[in-house]
A = this chain, B = another copy of it.
Amino acid sequence: MLPFERVAIIGLGLIGSSIARAVRQYMPTVKLTAHDASAEVRARVEELDFVDDVTDTAGAAVVDADLVILCVPVGAMGAVAAAIAADLPAEAIVSDVGSSKAGVVEALAAALPGRTIIPAHPVAGTENSGPDAGFASLFQGRWCIVTPPEDAAAGPVARVRAFWEGLGANVETMDPRHHDLVLAVTSHLPHLIAYTIVGTASDMETVTRSEVIKFSAGGFRDFTRIAASDPTMWRDVFLANKDAVLEMLQRFTEDLTALQRAIRWGDGDALFDLFTRTRAVRRSIIAEGQDDERPDFGRAHE
């Protein structure tokens, strides 16, 4: 028994197109409709042929759906929800894939009063964007966090969980505000730091851009992958999860200042203690299957 039979996807970037491909692969009998605001993306998806029907409006995509997934930047969620409101079947469940949740829960509730809304966030992605970047196995073994509103009924929550499990994800349920705190640490702060350091390195007068690129294997290149992520998506995340991001940033800055002081005063023991502690975190991530243990991320050396 499939949790849903007719799935509509609004937004066909990396995540939306990966969901579509995964549904095709793991739930081949599901009818897939889809819409993207960009005519160019719609034309490309017709060519790639991983949905049954690409519609010219968001409303036309959802008119017969039992699950609608909004895969657009979090700043656009409210407007897209408003655009489908008139065509949304009464029994349909609306979900999304946004990287911040408290604001999305509010925006969807305001645009779709009385409807069944079960937000979710698959914690998976790559540095590439657009419908060509997606692939069916993106969610395999990754976590998807479902953040139902307080008054959500058990049935729809169970169906959304079953949907993500069907795509290969591990599912966890979380309060939207707690989700935003957890992701501020594990995702939003790392992205912000990566964007900053790549910007800082590009603006040196004494070191050329070409030197930065040439010698990036010393560590810098690991930051550039994250800092190549979609600019619109990430602008919206930082604006939507402002309070949690600013709180994490404050803590990070305090810790960095302490380390700066240790370097200035030659306190090698403080440095050594921190560097030993952080090594253990890496080991746990590999033990939990959340990263590849091959050294250097399995990068080819020949």
Which residues of chain A have a CB within 8 Å of any CB of chain B?
75, 99, 123-128, 133, 135, 137-143, 145, 168, 172, 178, 181-183, 185-204, 206-207, 209, 211-229, 231-232, 234-236, 238-239, 242, 245-246, 248-249, 251-253, 255-256, 259-260, 263-264, 266, 268, 271-272, 274-279, 281-285, 288, 290-292, 295-302
A145–B292 Cα distance when bound, in Å, is 30
Copies in the complex: 2
Q: Is the CB of A216 within 8 A of B291?
A: yes
Q: Is the CB of B195 within 8 A of A278?
A: yes
Q: Which residues of B contact A214 (CB under 8 A)?
A: 143, 172, 288, 290
CB contact under 8 A between A198 and B278, given known A182-B215, A215-B123, A221-B285: yes
A192–B252 Cα distance when bound, in Å, is 12
Q: Is the CB of B219 within 8 A of A282?
A: no
Name the prevailing secondary structure of the A interface residues. Answer: helix
Q: Contacting A282 at CB < 8 Å: which of B224, B255, B275, B298? A: B224
Q: Which residues of B contact A141 (CB under 8 A)?
A: 301-302
Q: Which residues of B contact A226 (CB under 8 A)?
A: 219, 222
A179–B263 Cα distance when bound, in Å, is 19
A178–B245 Cα distance when bound, in Å, is 36
Q: Is the CB of B200 within 8 A of A252?
A: yes
Residue of B nearest to A273 (CB): B231
CB contact under 8 A between A299 and B301, given known A186-B215, A196-B259, A213-B290: no
What would be 27 A-B contacts, judged by CB atoms less than 8 Å apart? Answer: A127-B282, A128-B295, A138-B301, A140-B301, A140-B302, A181-B206, A181-B207, A182-B211, A185-B204, A190-B219, A195-B274, A196-B255, A200-B252, A201-B281, A209-B284, A213-B281, A213-B288, A216-B285, A217-B291, A221-B285, A228-B278, A228-B279, A228-B283, A231-B271, A232-B272, A239-B266, A292-B297
